Structure formats: C-alpha cells, structure tokens
Structure 1
C-alpha cells in the first residue's frame, strides 16, 4: 500500500509557514501597548489597561459574508479584511468601548500564501484604523471541503470598558436627536441580494451619464467604514449626552435601530424612531441597485442606505456633537472614499399605539 503524506492529502504545511511569515509583517503594524504576545504563540495575551475601576469585557464577532465572492471574482483581496474588522469593532463600539485586540480566521480549500497574506493585510489595515492589535488568528486549509480559489474570512474583537461608563440605551428618552454617520456604501450586508442584481462586476459604474472610472465591482468592494476613532473622540467630550448607539448592518434601519431602545415595561410607552426623509445624502450605489431591480419598498430593511452608524443624543447637545463630527472628519480621510458626514436624521418619540414589529418601530416622515 502506497504511503501518503499530509501534502499529498491536500494540505501544504510549507505554504502555511510562508503565509504565517507574511502575516507577521502585517501584524507588526498593529502593535500597541498592552500586548504581551504576538503571532506565533498558542494564544494571545493582552493586559487590561490600568485605571479602569470596574472592568467589563465587550466582545463582537462576525464575518464578511458573500461579499467575498466579489473579491474572488475580481481577484482583489486586500480590502475585505477591513470589512472583517469593521463588522466586529463597530458592534463593540455600540457600548461605548474601543476594541483592544482582534483575532482572525481564514479558511480555504487550497492555501495560496500570497492570497491569504492579502486578506490578512486588510485585517491589519482595519486594526490600524481602529487602533487595536492583531493578536493572533488561524489559517485552516481544508481540501475537498472548500472549493479551490475560495476563502472564508471571519474574526472577533475584544474591548474593555468601565461598567459605569457603558452605553446601554437605558438613558434614551423622548426627544433625543438621532444622528446618522454616513456609510461608504453597501458595507458588508445584503450581498446575497447584490449578487442577484449584478451579474457582471466589470460593468462600468455610470453616474449621471458619466463614466466614474470605476467598475460596479470596485464600488461594491469599497470597505466598510470604521467608526471607532471619531465616535470615541466625541464620547471623550459628550459621553453623558450619548444615550444609545447602533451599527446599521443586516436588516437595515428597521431591524437595527430599534435594538438600542429599552423595552417598555410597567405601562410605559415604547420609544420609537422618527426618521426624516431626504435628511442625508444616499450614495449612488443604492440607486444603481434599485435600478437593477432591488425592491424600493424593502431596501431600508436590507441595506444601510448611506447611514452606517446612529447615535441617540440629548437634544441640547446634538448640534454640538454633529459639529464636532464634521469638523474632525478630515482627520480620518481615506484615499478614494468620501469623508464621513454626520446628519440630524430624526428623533426619538413615544409610539402612539402598540408597537407590532419593525414597521411600527421605525417611522419615516417627510
């Protein structure tokens, strides 16, 4: 009987070593105070920052989803790692906490070190943008399980905050202003629908009859905006005025914004969101998707529609918070991506009757 080694079974250990060495170069850019170990250890250790009286760990995990399929078809692998980081760190941010460290998971059918390194480069880019450490990860080569040329990418982050400083939504009240922070486009949700609507990612992206110089695939691969640094900067000055925060992901406005409100109990009225139509600029990619067949009645239940993060803020401080966001926007500029803009998109109100489902919890008005 012929003897078979690991490589002959489909797992190339040497290629794995090459990939890890490339990862280390990217991870080195994310080193921050508190790291006690780096890539290559059996685990990752991070020291809890000093000065936190009652530390609470806050975690978040997510993947990139089927947006990866577009990256594979376009052979552009260096931005989806940013999406991977963004999906977790923006979730963690909703409690008013900055992510301290991140770990990733890359899986494939046949490992190509250069491709895997490009994926991890994006992860490192996202960590640098967040201000967190890439503390470790895992690369799994699973022949006959994943198709050759296909990769999966997921990860999780952990932050630590003071229990008394947590933003839980309990302080949200009638009359609070809803501040929306602009997205970069579709971000990382709704791509199963996108892939039904767009069949050729090399199509030119035409805007107002003019060639933008980009393909629709390039526009769709624009990475998710990371809101951590601008929001933490605002919280350093206005934390008491910020009563709740939302990361607008899968399910759009209707599914995500109500998640920050406390459930009405003891005969109290339920708080809901009143959203002002046309109070922000909707990125043209959404118009393109509607033109290609997306149900206009359901897009706010699928996509972020140009608002990737929402804060419920005391009305007395709302204008100042918006001004601070917009004044600082250029500090977080990225080439080829419009600066983040903060908008007054609506208000918190009491429901006039029973709240039965998402449509009653988010109401649009002209």
Structure 2
C-alpha cells in the first residue's frame, strides 16, 4: 500500500473523516513483513542506558573541590559536562559519527562526516546554554590514505566555520588489527557565564515547545537504517527510491545527476549554533525576543528520539500535539522496515532535530524570531503536569523513560 495514495504526503497532517492522522500513523497498514527495530539491528537502547549507568556509578568523584578551576558542576540532563572556571563555566561534550560512517566508507564519500562529528558535539553544548568555542577531533584508521584525510580535513573545517568554533587540534591514529575501517569522533568546548546555565529546572506546566527542523537522519539510528536498506535491496549509488524534496532542508550534493539514496542518508547533521547561540546571547543582553529566564530548556533530539525530553525534568510531562512534518526518508524507512511509529520516534528525530522550551507568554515572539533565522521552526507542543511522560498526536507514541 503506497503512502501517497492515503493522502499522507511526507508527514503532512490531513483530516480524514474528522480524524487527524499523523504521517506515520497510517504506516501500521503496511506492516505485512516482520517488524524491524533498533534492538534487532544490534543496538539495544535500554541495555546501552544500563551500561552507561554502570560506568557512571563506578567513577570516583573529582579531586577538584568546589570553588576551584575544574571543579564539577552538577547539571541534570546529561547533554554536557560542566566545570567551574572562575566567573565562567566551561562545558564539554564528546561524541562520534557512529555507524553512519559505514555508509560513508562504502561510498568513499566523506564530505559531510566532519560536519556530523562537530554537529553532534556542539548541538549538545547548546542544550546547557553554552556557546561552543573550540573543537578537537580523533580519527582512527586501519591505514592512512591521503585523499580520505584531505576530504575529512575540508569537512571538519567547514563544520567549524558553521559552528563558529576554532579547530584547536586533533589526533590521527593508525590502528591495523584494532579498527577495520575509518572511525571519527571529537570533543567540543563551550562556555557560559556563572549562573547562566539552561537546565530545565524552572520548567512549568503550560510552557511551550518550539521545534527546529532537522536536515535528515542526522547521526543516530544508522544500524537500523543499514538493516532496512539491506532488506529493501536498494543500491546506495542509485537514484533515491522516494521523492527527496522537503521545504525544511536541502540535500548537500556530492555528485551530479539524480539525487541518490546514499546522498540522502549521508546528508550532514544540521548545526544549530545559528540561531540558538544568538538567541541566548541576545536574550542575555536584553535585545532578544524574550528575557533569557524565559528560555527554560533546550533538548537535542538524538539517540532516544522524543524520549530525550524526559531528561529535562523529573516531574512534568510533554505533549507533542502539532509535530513538524516528517521527512520523506523516515516514511520510506518505516514502510520498508515495517517499523512501528513508536520505534521510529524512539530511534530517529523524525524531522525535529532540536526543541526549545519557553514561557507561554513569549512563545509567539520566540517562534517568529527563530523561524526568521531557521525556516520551519514553530510550535509543536506544551508542558503539562499530568505525569512524567511524553505523549504525541499519534496515541501509539508514548515514552515514560529515557
């Protein structure tokens, strides 16, 4: 059954028989094969969370004490680590590109992976209210290749320009026998004034969520993506099997001719430094669309999908009543993999890469300000006090834990 025949076109919301249906709701009717999920493709999010908790539990406290440079600053949410630095605070985030690199390695196309690496780190820093200022990379390869390293260098340079950060250094390790193909990760450094963290602690029922559109799959869920592509039998080098055009993003081309499936899957992760750093700084300086205290929280919708919202507050809940349009690749992946709507929203960003939570009385002015700088940014939902869970226009999509 084709999605387009059911009036659900790339995530647009339509009213059919007085019932509002979200783009993925209708995909339940296409599941005539064994449903796929992230765990079956090799990544168990719950097991991963338990392993991280075990690691954190085994770590000792810092030898640096409160008031000293480098002393830890506890902060809920876990999007970045914070340390003291006099009248300022430094924030650090570390992440990699993940198995998206396996597609890049297969196609030998590395033009976008440096952007992915920087994006995954600086976008996390934004979630604590930090301005990213520097980045260092780590490249591991089984053997060196001048052409590959040149492409990676250009991609990292472009990423740092988009993120407005200094590429302060890095490390390249040649590790035959340990790594079998190129891997890329990095660490970003940011700062904010003492007392200027955005934590989610002051969230109140009625606060508004503004969604910022993603550019594609970004850099999460690629074990499932690769498994679905394998099942579908499509070639990464051939024309995309679905219409790729979407009003909220552009496919960054590295070939002439038709847009290929590989190009769609490798489209670089959007870097949200523009406009979020400007929003935070302008609001701190009194020239923004609201006071900085009205910016309650920021969530990076990465691994875990919408369940990332639960990292922002332990008590209140979140309802997505008007989701951003779902990108066409997500519709195709759900259909080809017979993936449930809930699993899609737990694994992927589904078209919303970032969420900003603001006070209700300033939400329209903030939405207008953001949309002028990143078209497609708009209201998606609200905070409530009916339990600590995420709910959605699609009643199947609910989350009670991260």
Q: 1:362 aligns with which of 390, 399, 402?
A: 390
Matched with 1:247 is 300
Matched with 2:108 is 75
CA drift of 1:232 comes to: 1.4
Q: Distance in 2 between matches of 1:317 and 1:53?
A: 32
Contact 1:58 1:158 survives alignment (8 Å): yes
Q: Distance in 2 between matches of 1:144 and 1:206?
A: 37
Note if 1:257 corresponds to 2:309: yes
Q: Distance in 1 between matches of 2:243 and 2:184?
A: 35
Cα gap change, 1:302/1:209 in structure 2, threshold over 3 Å: closer, same or farther?
closer
Q: Structure 1: give runs of 5+ residues left out of the alignment.
A: 1-51, 264-269, 330-339, 356-360
Matched with 1:92 is 125
Q: 1:154 aligns with which of 179, 185, 192?
A: 185
Note if 1:296 corresponds to 2:340: yes
SS in 2 for 1:281: coil
Cα gap change, 1:53/1:146 in structure 2, threshold over 3 Å: closer, same or farther?
closer
Note if 1:281 corresponds to 2:325: yes
SS in 2 for 1:86: helix
Q: Distance in 2 between matches of 1:140 and 1:170?
A: 41
SS in 2 for 1:214: coil
**Counterparts in 2 of 1:1-366, with a 5 A limit?**
54-147=87-180, 150-199=181-230, 200-207=235-242, 213-235=258-280, 236=282, 237=288, 238=290, 239-254=292-307, 256-261=308-313, 263=314, 270-277=315-322, 279-297=323-341, 298-329=343-374, 340-352=375-387, 355=388, 361-365=389-393
Contact 2:244 2:264 survives alignment (8 Å): no
Q: Distance in 2 between matches of 1:293 and 1:196?
A: 8
Q: Distance in 2 between matches of 1:184 and 1:325?
A: 16
More displaced stretch, 236-245 vs 178-187: 236-245
Cα gap change, 1:119/1:350 in structure 2, threshold over 3 Å: closer, same or farther?
same
CA drift of 1:120 comes to: 2.4
TM-score, scaled relative to structure 1: 0.75
CA deviations on 1:38-85 (whole Å, 9 max, x unpaired) are: xxxxxxxxxxxxxx9721110000000000011111111111010000
RMSD: 1.8
Residue correspondences, number: 286
Contact 2:244 2:329 survives alignment (8 Å): no
Contact 1:106 1:116 survives alignment (8 Å): no
CA deviations on 1:153-208 (whole Å, 9 max, x unpaired) are: 00000111112211111111110001110000100000000000113212321435
Q: Distance in 2 between matches of 1:90 and 1:299?
A: 21
CA deviations on 1:268-305 (whole Å, 9 max, x unpaired) are: xx20101114x321111101111211412310010000
Q: Distance in 1 between matches of 2:101 and 2:228?
A: 16
Bigger Rg, which one: 1
Q: Distance in 1 between matches of 2:136 and 2:244?
A: 43
SS in 1 for 2:259: strand
Q: Structure 2: give runs of 5+ residues left out of the alignment.
A: 1-84, 246-256, 283-287, 395-402
SS in 2 for 1:204: coil
TM-score, scaled relative to structure 2: 0.68
SS in 2 for 1:308: strand
CA drift of 1:146 comes to: 2.3
Segments ≥4 residues shifted beyond 6 Å: none
CA drift of 1:152 comes to: 0.5
